[in-house]
A = this chain, B = another copy of it.
Amino acid sequence: MQGTVGELGEFGLIRELTARVPLTDAVDLGPGDDAAVVKAPDGRVVATTDVLIENRHFRRDWSTAYDVGRKAAAQNLADVAAMGAVPTALLLGLVAPADLPTTWATELMDGLRDECQVAGATVVGGDVVRGDTVTLAITALGDLQGRAAVTRAGAQVGDVVAVTGWLGWSAAGLTVLQRGFRSPRAFVEAHRRPEPPYHAGPAAAELGATSMIDVSDGLVADLGHVARASQVDIDLKAADFDVPAQMADIGQAVGVEPLVWVLSGGEDHAIVATFPRGVQLPARWRVVGEVTGRPRGTRSGRVTVDGAPWDRVGGWDHFAE
């Protein structure tokens, strides 16, 4: 394999990348034609796109190409799962400087492939172009298997709020990295490679989730989207969150209250959903709050913690400094 993607050329790079991805039963036509053909047995397809830019969404000195691939795939596949759909396919738009090592691109693809495999999907196509900044544009597709899509807009007053997956681990890991440390490994790893509970999305839909979202910007921020879309208020109970002892230790070491990571940290891609009270939730879901609301017309889409506003390190605005 030649040293850089510039030496390899566009078509050589495409060959290297596409050779690494297996096809699945969901793929009628994989990479190499004008477009891919992916099964959509439900008769609807779920589709979402995210863009990740070097030094903004990832750093090549903090994460391997493989981990960047895992994470880039994860955040898109989690969006599909959070609609209640099963991920089927992923497309990659890759902007690469000519001096990017070919191995970086192929390891990125290995990461995308392996994360897709966890979620039951595969890479079906994409585009590579030359540019100054390594940039990934990922589109994920999914199938609803006959279920109604679970949007952000269906939460009902009286519902419980429940979450599954990791919360605050990525943010704690990022803090550790920002302070120049490489451990504790569990948190650094969580920052480099989130583990969204993909299966929980479709399962929540089956259980009658009234609204659902994946936690990419932070739990309070993302529940804010739900509260506004559903025109309800949401109150979380701080005591109902589990702050791992090791996270508390890091918090003490770096002077951060760990609940801030749990409630405001993004990128773990936990899945949070609202359910009618009384739904029997599987063991790995944790009820952490409830959907409240006041007389119609006065609802504000607010998210509170123990009844009070939560203003600690809010959500992520991609245009903020």
CB distance from A201 to the nearest CB of B (A): 9
Contacts of A51 in B (CB 8 A): 93-95, 127-129, 135, 137
Residue in A5, A43, A96, A319 with the greatest tally of chain B CB atoms within 10 Å? A319
CB distance from A79 to the nearest CB of B (A): 4
A37 near B44: Cβ-Cβ < 8 Å? yes
- Residue of chain B at shortest CB distance from A4: B319
Contacts of A131 in B (CB 8 A): 53, 56, 133, 135
The proximity string for A residues 28-60 relative to B, scoring 1 for CB distances below 8 Å and 0 otherwise, is 110011111111111111111111110011000
CB proximity to B under 8 Å, residues A73-107:
79-80, 82-83, 85, 89, 91-96, 98
Give Cα A318 to B95, complex, Å. Answer: 10
Give Cα A133 to B85, complex, Å. Answer: 34
Q: A41-B43, A98-B319, A129-B318 are in contact. Are A48 and B214 (CB under 8 A)?
A: no
**Known pairs A35-B80, A130-B319, A133-B133 / 4 extra A-B pairs, C-beta < 8 Å:** A29-B151, A49-B137, A51-B93, A131-B135
| Residue A160 interfacial (CB < 8 Å) | no
| Residue A141 interfacial (CB < 8 Å) | yes
The proximity string for A residues 262-289 relative to B, scoring 1 for CB distances below 8 Å and 0 otherwise, is 0000000000000000000000000000
| Residue A167 interfacial (CB < 8 Å) | no
A139 near B49: Cβ-Cβ < 8 Å? yes
Contacts of A6 in B (CB 8 A): 319
Instruction: Count the copies.
Output: 2
Contacts of A79 in B (CB 8 A): 34-35
Q: A39-B44, A47-B139 are in contact. Are A10 and B317 (CB under 8 A)?
A: yes
Contacts of A172 in B (CB 8 A): none
CB distance from A274 to the nearest CB of B (A): 14
| Residue A61 interfacial (CB < 8 Å) | no
CB distance from A86 to the nearest CB of B (A): 12
B29 near A149: Cβ-Cβ < 8 Å? yes
- Sort chain A's interface into a size bin: 35 or more
A11 near B317: Cβ-Cβ < 8 Å? yes
13 A-B pairs whose Cβ atoms sit less than 8 Å apart in the complex: A9-B319, A28-B44, A32-B229, A34-B80, A37-B45, A38-B44, A47-B125, A49-B125, A95-B135, A96-B319, A98-B319, A131-B133, A135-B135
CB distance from A43 to the nearest CB of B (A): 6
- Residue of chain B at shortest CB distance from A38: B45
Q: A47-B91, A49-B137 are in contact. Are A37 and B129 (CB under 8 A)?
A: no
Contacts of A32 in B (CB 8 A): 152, 229
| Residue A213 interfacial (CB < 8 Å) | yes
CB distance from A202 to the nearest CB of B (A): 13
CB distance from A239 to the nearest CB of B (A): 28
Contacts of A142 in B (CB 8 A): 35
CB distance from A71 to the nearest CB of B (A): 15
B129 near A57: Cβ-Cβ < 8 Å? yes
| Residue A293 interfacial (CB < 8 Å) | no
Contacts of A46 in B (CB 8 A): 35-38
Residue in A39, A80, A89, A212 with the greatest tally of chain B CB atoms within 10 Å? A39
